[in-house]
A and B are shown apart, each in its own frame.
Chain A
Amino acid sequence: MATEVLTIPGVRIETPSWGETLHGWVTTVDHKRIGLLYILFALLFLGVAGVEALVIRIQLMYPHNDFVSPQAFNRMFTMHGTTMIFFFAMPILFGFGNYLVPLMIGARDMAFPRLNAFSFWLSAFGGFLLYFSFLGGSGLYGVGSAPDAGWWAYAPLTARAFSPGSSTDYWTIAVLVSGFGSIGTAVNLIATILCMRCPGMTLGRMPLLAWLYLTMSGLALIGITPLSAAQLMLLVDRYLGGHFFDTQAGGSATLWMHFFWIFGHPEVYILVIPAFAFMSEIIPVFSRKPIFGYPVMVAATVCIAFVSMSVWAHHMFTIGMNSYANSFFAITTMAVGVPTGIKIFNWLGTMWGGRIQFKTPMLFSIAFLFQFLIAGLTGIIQAAVPFDWQLSLSYFVVAHFHYVIVGGILFAIFGAFYYWYPKVTDRMLSERLGTLHFWLFVIGFHLTFDLMHVPGLLGMPRRIYTYEPDRGWDTLNFLVSIGAFIQAVAVLVFIANLILSYWKGARAGKDPWDAWTLEWSVSSPPPVYNFAVIPTVFSRRPLWDLKHPEDPDSRYE
């Protein structure tokens, strides 16, 4: 299909040189380009953190292995966790939001384009700063390298006495800077969604993706900032001789734990709500039915955001809180399962009776539903305090949260790639490679993370460098590592698909999936200005109304 570009008579468009193209991308304030920059930046860090995960798994493949030193192992798991959360998951979700939200609400750009570029570059330089620690982390003292205090960096391990050199400072400042970037993007998304909607797009007619990004951004404002505050305190401790987390001077290590998890748990929902957003767009289109229970979906999301603010201490059941606190956090944690369950039932309700098309985006979505359910169930298991006392800091916990983040969020992200790639590039991703990617990843994922629960139940603690051969963990750990390699191969297939399809893929045209939201009404890739004429909408599925003037949705809503 021909691209819709308005040409001005008498103006000749020259092909820009490499330098001009690069300059254009670096200085861009266009939401689509910034979205792509976010996504490419995140994919880079997915690769880096993935390699770190493989190093961890090689080290744990056999008992008494010495593939890396214990010090390097600590750096690997710290960098893997920090990178995956702050420099892969957050940026890629913000990237999709940046790209899609203005298109879906009928706007020409974000509310604050320059703030948008600023936020992206803050996050990007945060990531580069974190990795510069491999070179600069030893500081003037000649000790330390990359950060090695774990991704939650519990006090007092982060104090000068226990973390000399500059590695912890690199971690602190990188995370702080990327946090400011996230806050900027969250402010921007909220302002965009509330103030830039096209005529007729009332809050009740917004695509669910916009609603979920609105909720996520609101949660990010109050969820990420506690970490920023705690990082500032840590900097005061390390540079100005403060005593916030200095137990020698009456400071409290527990307070850091509280501050970290007041950020840490909402963070899970900041990541998973965009994943829900992708599901809420993909599942209806491939079930050929409108989403089931739209208002309930919105209400459940907002409810999840609120409840998630009061569950953080379930990460801290083993520190000896009193029984009232334990009960409170156990109950709130279980309560989060209710709105989440509502969402799962609504997705099933959407699929029920639909003509389901098993294209790659839908395959990832169906896998998401199964895996996210299991991930949620092992979460509720651990909300039972005595059970958590047994399992806290074991590989069961590692398996649980990887089930959420890989089995849930990463699968949703892959689904989103297959769904929106045609819009961005005008090329379809190969279904054959896509199916191969899907099945390899499903097999690798389940081999790794299903089995990983078992050594946890058998008592294998997380973050150990190696283990004795007679514990009954060897075979399991070996298989877990094999699964990690299968996942790595699957990701390589995915990357190959992204690259090959860019040149070889079938032309997609405007609307390859016969979808209903506004981004599919413009050419692929969308023109710089998005919409030549700002559209007016009358229902939640404006393109359905357009394609079926005899039976528009606006008649029923």
Chain B
Amino acid sequence: MNAMVAALEPTPAVAAPRWTLPDRGKVGMLSFILAESAIFTIFVVAYLFYLGKSLTGPTPRDVLEVPIFYTICLLSSSVTIHLAGKRLERNESKPFLAWWLITIALGATFMFGTAQEWRRLIYEHGLTISTNLFGTTYYSLVGLHAFHVTLGLVMLTIVSWLSVAGNLRRQSRRVEVLSLYWHFVDVVWAVVFTVVYVIGR
């Protein structure tokens, strides 16, 4: 019967055009990103809602320093991962790996920056997640983002390992899906940066 469906001549005869559909990896990742955006939105709303509502110190103005260098690192990693993807499309594995490792290095630098900042806040200013509302919302929002960066770094590392092992041929579409995630993490940082370090101070 299926064959009959397939063989059925439509009237008026419609020449079957080329049947192309969107890539499911990309659609899946974009849907996932939409869901993630909603989660981040709720955390951002909570951060903004509780700005200046802490009953005790320290306040953001007292203790936060703007992490310009680390922000530049993370945002530029979006550029390097894009360049890496371009190289992979052209099947140039060595330059791909180089750009890919630079991306990982930039992401790792960013995470180092976050670690430094948290160490300073905890040991020098005594601000922990349970100190006041600022501590609760700050560590949750920045921590949620840092968790995503870490997850991204793990996946990037796996890809670079696969690349060294030579298993990455004709996988540029999958790598592209992963870089969509990385771009998303960067965009979220732009929002978090604005909210926490610009508006929040």
Residues of A at under 8 Å CB distance from B?
111-112, 115, 183, 186-188, 190-192, 194-197, 199-200, 217-218, 221-222, 224-226, 228-230, 232-233, 236-237, 240-244, 249-252, 255, 259, 262, 510, 518, 521-522, 531-538, 542-543, 545-546, 549, 552, 554-555
CB distance from B128 to the nearest CB of A (A): 8
- The reply to whether B35 and A534 contact each other, CB–CB distance below 8 Å, is no
- The reply to whether A222 and B35 contact each other, CB–CB distance below 8 Å, is yes
Interface residues of B in 1-47 (CB under 8 A from A): 1-6, 8, 10-12, 14, 16, 19, 21-24, 27-28, 31-32, 34-39, 41-43, 46
- The reply to whether B21 and A229 contact each other, CB–CB distance below 8 Å, is no
Residues of B at under 8 Å CB distance from A?
1-6, 8, 10-12, 14, 16, 19, 21-24, 27-28, 31-32, 34-39, 41-43, 46, 49-50, 53-55, 129-130, 132-133, 136-137, 140, 144
CB distance from A538 to the nearest CB of B (A): 4
- The reply to whether A186 and B31 contact each other, CB–CB distance below 8 Å, is yes
Q: How far is the CA of A221 from the CA of B34 in the complex (A)?
A: 7
Q: How far is the CA of A537 from the CA of B41 in the complex (A)?
A: 41
Q: How far is the CA of A259 from the CA of B22 in the complex (A)?
A: 34
| B130 surroundings in chain A (CB, below 8 A) | 240-243
- The reply to whether B8 and A538 contact each other, CB–CB distance below 8 Å, is yes
Q: How far is the CA of A557 from the CA of B42 in the complex (A)?
A: 44
Interface of A is mostly: helix
- The reply to whether B136 and A531 contact each other, CB–CB distance below 8 Å, is no
* Most chain B Cβ neighbours within 10 Å, of A187, A226, A232, A555: A187
CB distance from B23 to the nearest CB of A (A): 7
- The reply to whether A233 and B140 contact each other, CB–CB distance below 8 Å, is yes
From B22, B38, B129, B137, A222 is in contact (CB under 8 Å) with B38
| A192 surroundings in chain B (CB, below 8 A) | 24
From B8, B46, B50, A250 is in contact (CB under 8 Å) with B50
- The reply to whether B133 and A243 contact each other, CB–CB distance below 8 Å, is yes
- The reply to whether A195 and B49 contact each other, CB–CB distance below 8 Å, is no
| A533 surroundings in chain B (CB, below 8 A) | 2-3, 6
New contact pairs (7) apart from A196-B21, A236-B136, CB-CB < 8 Å: A112-B24, A222-B34, A250-B54, A521-B2, A533-B6, A535-B6, A546-B8
Q: How far is the CA of A549 from the CA of B10 in the complex (A)?
A: 8
| A518 surroundings in chain B (CB, below 8 A) | 5
* A195 and B22 in contact, given A187-B32, A249-B55, A538-B10 (Cβ under 8 angstroms): yes
From B28, B36, B49, B53, A111 is in contact (CB under 8 Å) with B28
Interface of B is mostly: helix
Q: How far is the CA of A194 from the CA of B23 in the complex (A)?
A: 9
From A236, A250, A262, A546, B55 is in contact (CB under 8 Å) with A250
| B3 surroundings in chain A (CB, below 8 A) | 532-533
CB distance from B2 to the nearest CB of A (A): 5
- The reply to whether A555 and B12 contact each other, CB–CB distance below 8 Å, is yes
CB distance from B182 to the nearest CB of A (A): 18
From B16, B27, B35, B136, A200 is in contact (CB under 8 Å) with B16
| A542 surroundings in chain B (CB, below 8 A) | 5
Which partner residue on chain A sits nearest B21 by CB separation? Answer: A195
- The reply to whether B136 and A554 contact each other, CB–CB distance below 8 Å, is no
| A222 surroundings in chain B (CB, below 8 A) | 34-35, 37-38
| A255 surroundings in chain B (CB, below 8 A) | 46, 49
* A226 and B21 in contact, given A250-B53, A546-B8 (Cβ under 8 angstroms): no
CB distance from B17 to the nearest CB of A (A): 9
- The reply to whether B129 and A536 contact each other, CB–CB distance below 8 Å, is no
From A225, A538, A554, B42 is in contact (CB under 8 Å) with A225
Which partner residue on chain B sits nearest A197 by CB separation? Answer: B21
- The reply to whether B5 and A552 contact each other, CB–CB distance below 8 Å, is no
CB distance from B41 to the nearest CB of A (A): 8
Q: How far is the CA of A533 from the CA of B7 in the complex (A)?
A: 10
| B4 surroundings in chain A (CB, below 8 A) | 546
| A200 surroundings in chain B (CB, below 8 A) | 16, 19
CB distance from B133 to the nearest CB of A (A): 5
- The reply to whether B129 and A240 contact each other, CB–CB distance below 8 Å, is yes
* A236 and B140 in contact, given A249-B133, A533-B3 (Cβ under 8 angstroms): yes
- The reply to whether A538 and B6 contact each other, CB–CB distance below 8 Å, is no
From A199, A228, A236, A242, B19 is in contact (CB under 8 Å) with A199
Q: How far is the CA of A533 from the CA of B2 in the complex (A)?
A: 6
Which partner residue on chain B sits nearest A254 by CB separation? Answer: B49
Which partner residue on chain B sits nearest A194 by CB separation? Answer: B27
